[in-house]
Structures are given as C-alpha cells and as structure tokens.
Structure 1
C-alpha cells in the first residue's frame, strides 16, 4: 500500500475494515449542506428552495433542493417554468426587508405551461453568513457518523431549526423534515482508465459514495477533480477486503490478471451488494471457468455480473459504456437501497 499524498483529494488508507467502514459515512453530509456553506463564504445571502411536498406526477421528489445565489443556481427542483418562477421568487428574498421564509404551493397545470397533473409545495428559506456556525455544526455531526433529522418550522415567517435523533411527527404542512446522515450506497471502481474516468465523472453526479482504486498514480491524477476518494495501491485485489459491507464493486483495470484477482477476492465475500466485470462474453466465460477451477462455489460465481451495463447500448465509447453501467447501478443498487 502506498500513500497517494500528492493526488488531488487523495487519502492514505489504512489496513483495517474499520477504516473502510468509516469511509462509508463520508457521504452522509448532505450535499446541500456542503454546497450551501461554500456559497455563503462567497455571498452574504443564499436562498434554499426545497420541495416540501410532491403530490401526483411531479418532476422532482419531496426533499429535492436548489440553492439560489445572486448570480446562479445550484441543483434543480425540476426545471421548466416551475423552476424559473421559483428562482425569481427566491431572488426577491435577497432584499433585507423581506422575511427569511416563504411556503408556496403550485399546481403543475396550464398556469405553468405544464401538464404533469400534480402539485408541489416549495419551501423558500434564506440563509445568511450568520448561519454558517449552525451549518458547520450540522456538518460536524454528520462527519462523526451521527444520524438524525433536521426539523425546520415556520414560526410566523421566521425559521426555527432543530436537530433531533427521533423522527418528528409530520402533518401540519408548515414544517420541513429532513433525514440526515444516511450514507449513499458505496461504489468502488477498480481501474481509472478511459472507461473508469468517464464512469467516475458520471457517478459523482448521482447519489453514490464513490471510491476509485488503481495501481497507477498517473491514472488517478488524470481523474477530473471531484468528490470521489482516490486510492493508490500496489495490490488492488488486497483492497477488496477494505470495501464496506453492501458496497458495489466495478472491475475495469488495465490488466486482465489484476481484474481476475479482484473478482476472486470479491466473490469470496458474501456481504457485497454487487460485483461487475467489464469485458466481453468470452472474457466472462474464461473468468468463470478459472474461478471454478480455483475452487469457488458455483453459486458465488453466478453472482458475477459480466458483461456490465444495461441492455441495448452497443456503443464502445467510454462515455456510452459509463451511461449504461451507471443506469444498471441505479436499477440494481439504488432500487435495493431505497
């Protein structure tokens, strides 16, 4: 094991399963908290727009968040006329004489030029730089692995915020209840080549906690800057035992021999959510035969997914493969987790 100290965003990893288990919690800081803190360091006020309720057919689910700064938006509540009007209303709240909270219900009908048929209730909450200590406290709780709920109440146009370890009782329609601290499903990508780079870039935009493992420092350094953990290892197969329980593993290194070692180590564990191997049907058959000769149980070998990616995508472009694999992960891993 080498410490990837010179890699952007890299950490030196330990040798214990405990260290890996802690890594699973690093995604527990909800992204809106991290993003909001960053924006408030550059702007005196930021308005958070959250979907408080979603009824019927809607473009986003309850809990979706968009941050509105004086010059930009970060995130989405569904796009279209709804989002444009929400952005406009949020920007009006930058005026100091307006209150910090608004709750608006909008039917998604002809008035918005939409035919979804549902309705959304939006929570508009203005944060100021004086709120940074509160947000930092939230982030620190979540970094410690705490799980709880953030209860935000409407108190006559003012916001009362409370952290609680017990789920609050919902029902008055004037409170925003958010579950915080649930880690995103961990995905470990073995191999930072062309497909690995494309896949990691895509997975970082989705609700996954991504780690990338490679034996080549140059490959990890070529990854675009992002929120994934980069792990440099002389023996990628040995890293399999550090993956947390419930992780999905994707195997796509520059070497078939390294791929095989990773697959063999992964299939010896029964607590992984999913193991996928890039390659052709021929490669998959060769690996399965070799795994059988090496004494692995047929039932365990049958859990190896190869080739990977949703059916119907025949392009071999790295970006196309990445889309197909990400879609498969959403189907297999996120659906199980939700």
Structure 2
C-alpha cells in the first residue's frame, strides 16, 4: 500500500471520529519482513490497513497498538526476531513507533444552572472542551458559557438528538430538577457515552435508581452517581472541581490517590 494512500486512510479515520494507532517501522536490522518506513494503521476493533510484514511480528505490533489505544499513549517498541525473542528465526531486529490518534475527551453538560456554569469554568482551565444543553436561554447562553463548543437551547433530555455523543463523550447531568435528571439519565444510557455522571445526594440516588430499573433503564458501569470525588466541600465551585477531578480520573484510568511519597522526613 502506497504511503499517500495509508495517510489518506488515517486522515479519513480521524475526520470520521475513529480512534486509530499508526505503526511505523523506524529501524530494521538483519533479516526482517519489511524495511524502515513500512506503515500500518490499527483501529480499536483490531482491523488494520497496510502491513509491516505480516506473521507474528505484525500480530505483536497490533497487540501493542491496541494497548496504546487503550492507554491513549504511544511510544517506541523493539522486537527481536529470534527464537529467544518473539519465537522467530529471522535473526533480525525491528523497531517500531506507535502514534495514537484518539478523539479528544469532550464533556456534554445537561443543565445550565450555577453548578454547571462553575463546572464550565473549571473544564476550560483544564483544557477540556464542553457543550451545554438547557431549554432556558437566560441560563444557556454565551454570557454564562463563553467557551462552549456548542450551546443547545432544548430540554436537556431531548438534546442528545442534536449533539454527537460517542465513547469519548463524558455526559454530566445537573438539571433543575430530579424528574428531569431522571429523564436525562434514561436517555444517556442509550448512547455510547464513555462516562455518565449525575448530580444528587446519596439518598436521592438510592430512591430513584430502583424506579428507573423497573422501567427497563439499564444502569451500567458508565454511570457515576452521586457525581464527583469525595474531596469535601458543597459550594458550586467545589462541586465543579470534584466533578472535573472524577472525569480526569476516569479518563486516565487512575485511582485518585495522593501522589506524595509516604511520610516525608524534614
């Protein structure tokens, strides 16, 4: 496959919102299936375009590419094409670099109230793009959400039809009332959103979830409610920090623990 063609395939994938890893052979010594410069595209579902030589070396490269896609981080990897290395008798060495092209995390805020406005500010500071939906134009407007990628003046639970929600979308539900929150949650779980958080007290959550389940709403592991990390504080600004911290924690797959090194001796 010609280089121009595979780059076009990559561009089309990125434009279409598909996540992909670009594998490039950066060095090849001894006997190897392909030379430096060979390229291959690997999608999240394991499908590929192009080749770096086929066989076991390509299978291992695909495995590494899928790991990189999951982590959202690429890197340089070396394969020894020997019986001791990867079980091949070529007696060569191949080094590849994997670039990850992943759709950026984006937040979809349902509700334009005071907490949502504070959340928007914290998201902007964190460099996270967001959109907001609220039928009340006096709340969902450019004055309150100056950095929004999109403002949808529609009932929040109906806004999913007007916005692209995929696995890289983090949905945050914080509308003006419990019943509207419920409707938003019921619609959100039907989407491919990677994260669905809903504001509310623990007692509220324990009260409404059984009712939603009885109605056939599937509450899966994407749902985080009450939303946010337990860092204390109840003001809109503090809640916004808590929610943003949880979004980042989920996105990066971290545990949210302290980073300090034990007891520091001064």
TM-score by length of 1: 0.44
1:200 equivalent in structure 2: 120
- Aligned partner of 2:178 in structure 1 is 256
Contact 1:310 1:324 in 2 (8 A): yes
Instruction: Give the secondary-structure state (helix, strand or coil) at the position aligned to 2:126.
Output: coil
TM-fit CA distance, 1:296? 2.5
2:31 aligns with none
Aligned equivalents of 1:259, 1:208: Cα separation in 2: 23
For the 8 Å contact 1:197–1:223, the answer to whether it is kept is yes
Q: Deviations over 1:306-338 (max 9, x none)?
A: 11111132x1110000001100000002448xx
SS at match of 1:208: coil
SS of 1:245's partner is coil
SS of alignment partner, residue 133 of structure 2: strand
Aligned equivalent of 1:183 = 103
1:304 Cα shift? 2.4
Aligned length: 171
Alignment map for 1:1-338 (pairs within 5 Å)? 182-221=102-141, 222-233=143-154, 235-241=155-161, 242-246=163-167, 247-269=169-191, 271-297=192-218, 300-301=219-220, 303-313=222-232, 315-335=233-253
Could you tell me how far apart the structure 2 residues matched to 1:182 and 1:191 are?
27
Distance 2:205 2:147 in 1: 31
Which runs of 5 or more structure 1 residues have no equivalent in the other structure? 1-140, 150-164, 171-178
The answer on whether the counterparts of 1:252 and 1:278 sit within 8 Å (CA) in structure 2 is yes
Cα distance change, pair 292–228 in 1 and its aligned pair in 2 (3 A)? same
User: How far off its partner does 1:276 sit?
Assistant: 0.7
TM-score (structure 2 length as normaliser)? 0.54
Measured after TM superposition, the shift of residue 148 of structure 1 is: 11
Task: List gaps (5 residues or longer) in structure 2.
Answer: 1-11, 23-38, 42-74, 77-98, 255-266
* In 1, Cα distance between equivalents of 2:235 and 2:149: 22
Distance in 2 (CA, whole Å) between partners of 1:243 and 1:252 is: 19
Q: Could you say which structure has the greater relative contact order, defined with CA pairs below 8 angstroms and 6 or more residues apart?
A: 1
